[in-house]
Structure 1
Amino acid sequence: MIIEKLALVTANSASLQPFYSDILGFPVIRSEQGSFTVQAGWSELTFQETSDEADGEHYYHFAFTIPENKLPEAKAWIEARVPIGTEAGEDVSYSESWNSHSVYFEDPAGNILELIARHTMDNSVERPFDPKQDIICISEIGVPTADIPAAVEHLAKLGLMSYKTTNESFNPIGDDNGLLLVVSTGRRWHFTNKTAESFPVRVHIREAGELSFSSNEHGLTIENIN
C-alpha cells in the first residue's frame, strides 16, 4: 500500500512548519496562511489549521520508512535534534513479528513520529545515512476507533486487507510499504504515555484513492472522496 499524501490538522501551522523544514530537512512544497505541505520521500505531508478549539490537543502517530540497515545511524541523527522516546529503559523498539526496529520522537505539536527500519524490505544502502535520500516515505498512520471490526470490514471492501498479526485492540491494514494502524481508542501508543485518540485524517492511497477518516461515539466514518 503506497501512501502518497497524508493530511492532518494542527492548531498552529506556522509554529510547526520550521520543525519539518529546518529540523527534519523536508522540502516545503506549499506554504500558505493556515497550512503547509512538505515532501517526505515519495509521500507528501500536509498540516492544515483548524478552528476547532479542541484541536489544540490533537496528536497523531505516523511513521517514516528508512533503509533496513540504517536504524543506528538514523537514531544518532534524530537524537542529536530532539529527545527520543524510551520504554523500560530502552530507546529502540524491536518487533519480532514485523522484523523491524524503530525509534520514536515527537514534534512541537505532540505528534508521535517514528523512524522504522523494516528488515523484510530489500532497501539497504551502503553509504552513510542521508535523511534527504533515506527517509523513503510515510509508511504508517494511526486511525483509532471505537469499533475496529467495522473499520476493518469497510477497508476490506476497498481492497485494503489486514497485515500480519492482529488482535482485538490492534489491526494494521496494508503491507510493508504502507499501513493504516487501526487501533482501539484509549490504547497506549508504543514508547509514549499518550493514548490513541481519533482525529480527522485524509490519506491518499495509490491503490484506493483518497480516504477521509473522522470519528464519533460509534466508531470511524470512512469516506472515499475520489
Structure 2
Amino acid sequence: MFKSVTLYTNKLKSLKRFYMNLLEWDLVEADNDRFTVKVGSSQLSFVESERPYFYHFAINIPGNQFSMMKYWLKDRVTLNREEGRDEVYFQSFDADSMYFEDPAGNIVELIGRRKRDLFGDLTKESFIDISEVGVATPYVTEVGELLQDNGIPLRNGTEVNPDELNFLGKDDKFVVLVPLHRRWYFSKKQSEVAPLEFTVNEKTFKIDVEGKIETIEEN
C-alpha cells in the first residue's frame, strides 16, 4: 500500500546515521536537505526542516522472526515499555509489536505478522514494508472522508470517529488517523500535527502544518 512516505525533521544527519548504520537500511538517494532509505517494498524519506517534528510509523516484519528481531534490536536501541512490558500482542490483528524511538523522537513500531513467515536468518528482507503511518489532525472527519473517497477504506464501518483512533486501509497496511493530544501507545508523547506525505495506489496524499489534506495524482 505505502509506496513511499516522507517525513520532516530538524535532525537529518542523526537520522541518516541511525537508519543506515544502526538499522542497516539501504540508502536509495541523498542530498543536502533529504535522504531516502529502502524499507522492503516501501521507501522512507526524511526532509530537513527548521522545526522539530515527531511521527508514529510502523514496519511489517515476519511473525516467526519477531524474537530474533527483538534480540538483534536490543543491542542497538532501547525498547519502549508500557506497564512494564516491552512487547504486546494484538489479537484483532494477530500480530506482536515492539516499539522504540529514533534520534528525532519518532515512535517506530515493528509489527510481527503471525501469518507471514520468512525462514532463515535475519536479513534486510526481514523488513517487509511500511505497515502504518500515523496522521494527527484537528480535521479527523475531513481527512478520513477524503481518504475513503480515494479508495482507502475504514477498517470498521464507513464513518470515522473524530475523538478516537481510526484505521484506514486493508490487509496489514493502515493510515492511523487520530485527533490531537491523544497519547501514542508505548510512549509518553501526545499526538500533534506534523506535515507529511505518503503515496498509495499512485496517489500522493499531503498533510500540511495545519493538519489539512490534499491529493496529487502521480504521473
Please, what TM-score do these two structures have when normalized by structure 2? 0.92
2:206 is matched with 212
Q: CA RMSD in A?
A: 1.6
C-alpha offsets along residues 175-199 of structure 1, whole Å, 9 cap, x if unaligned? 1342110011111111110111110
Q: Contact 1:158–1:208 at 8 Å: present in 2 too?
A: no
The alignment status of 1:129 with 2:122, answered yes or no, reads yes
Q: Contact 1:14–1:34 at 8 Å: present in 2 too?
A: no
Letter of the 2:64 counterpart: N
2:141 is matched with 149
Letter of the 1:16 counterpart: L
- Deviation of 1:208 after TM superposition, in Å, equals 5.0
Counting only pairs closer than 5 Å after superposition, residues 72-91 of structure 1 correspond to structure 2 as: 72-91=67-86
- Deviation of 1:3 after TM superposition, in Å, equals 0.2
Alpha-carbon distance between aligned partners in 2 of 1:124 and 1:27, rounded to the nearest angstrom: 22
Letter of the 2:203 counterpart: G
Q: Contact 1:21–1:27 at 8 Å: present in 2 too?
A: yes
Q: Contact 1:4–1:43 at 8 Å: present in 2 too?
A: yes
Alpha carbons of 1:223 and 1:20: their partners in 2 closer, same or farther (altered >3 Å)?
same
Q: Secondary structure at the match of 1:193?
A: coil
The alignment status of 1:139 with 2:131, answered yes or no, reads yes
C-alpha offsets along residues 64-122 of structure 1, whole Å, 9 cap, x if unaligned? 10012221111111111000010111110211222211000011111110110123x4x
**Where in structure 2 are there 5+ consecutive unaligned residues?**
none
Alpha-carbon distance between aligned partners in 2 of 1:145 and 1:172, rounded to the nearest angstrom: 14
The alignment status of 1:100 with 2:99, answered yes or no, reads no
Q: Secondary structure at the match of 1:212?
A: strand
Letter of the 2:205 counterpart: L
Q: Contact 1:148–1:169 at 8 Å: present in 2 too?
A: no
Letter of the 2:196 counterpart: V
2:27 is matched with 28
**Where in structure 1 are there 5+ consecutive unaligned residues?**
none
1:71 is matched with 66
Q: Contact 1:62–1:113 at 8 Å: present in 2 too?
A: yes
- Which among 188, 193, 196 is matched to residue 193 of structure 1? 188
Alpha-carbon distance between aligned partners in 2 of 1:151 and 1:38, rounded to the nearest angstrom: 27
Task: Give the number of equivalent residue pairs.
Answer: 214
Q: Contact 2:139–2:212 at 8 Å: present in 1 too?
A: no
Q: Secondary structure at the match of 1:150?
A: helix
